[in-house]
Amino acid sequence: MELTTWFPGYPQSLSQIRRLLRQLSAESSLPEDAIEDLVLACSEAAGYLVGRTGVRELMLRWNSWSDGASVELEVDGIFPKSGNGHRPYEAFPIINAVVNQATVVENVIGRPRTTVKLVKYWEDQSPLGIISPWVA
């Protein structure tokens, strides 16, 4: 099942995002513990994206298959660097703990945008805690 939708870029949208993810997961007959892990990771990522980039809207793309699902969150803009030169997503401990893969892509050429892709497998096919930052 695939779906792409947009949400306003403000914190109140997070509850709508969680509700949609739970609905999509239930319709796909996904395991309850995996659903909650993915909802938690997406809520954390969306909160960072909305809170740190000052965006007007957030795109959510859902894709599920027989043994897993992925969620992509995309916004116009990139994370500002902190005082030590690091991006805030390098401190995603909750996301790191509950998904099999988290990839952050910052496109700084042309239209600046940030995409976070989260992948969760129902069977343990990949170690938890892989965050792959990549700047285009």
Per residue in 20-36, pLDDT (tens digit) is 999 998 888 788 888 89
Kind and range of the H or E run holding 101: strand 101-107
pTM of the prediction? Answer: 0.82
| Residue 134 pLDDT level (bands cut at 50, 70, 90) | very low
CA distance 116 to 73: 5
Give the model confidence (pLDDT) of 64-99 as tens digits: 998 889 999 999 877 666 666 666 555 578 888 889
Q: Which two tokens stand for residue 9?
A: 């870029």
| Position 136 pLDDT exceeds 50 | no
Q: What is the topology classification, in CATH, of domain 2-135?
A: Heat Shock Protein 90 (3.30.565)
Q: Which two tokens stand for residue 125?
A: 């096919």
Q: Specify the amino acid at residue 135.
A: V
Give the model confidence (pLDDT) of 35-67 as tens digits: 899 999 999 999 888 887 778 899 999 999 988
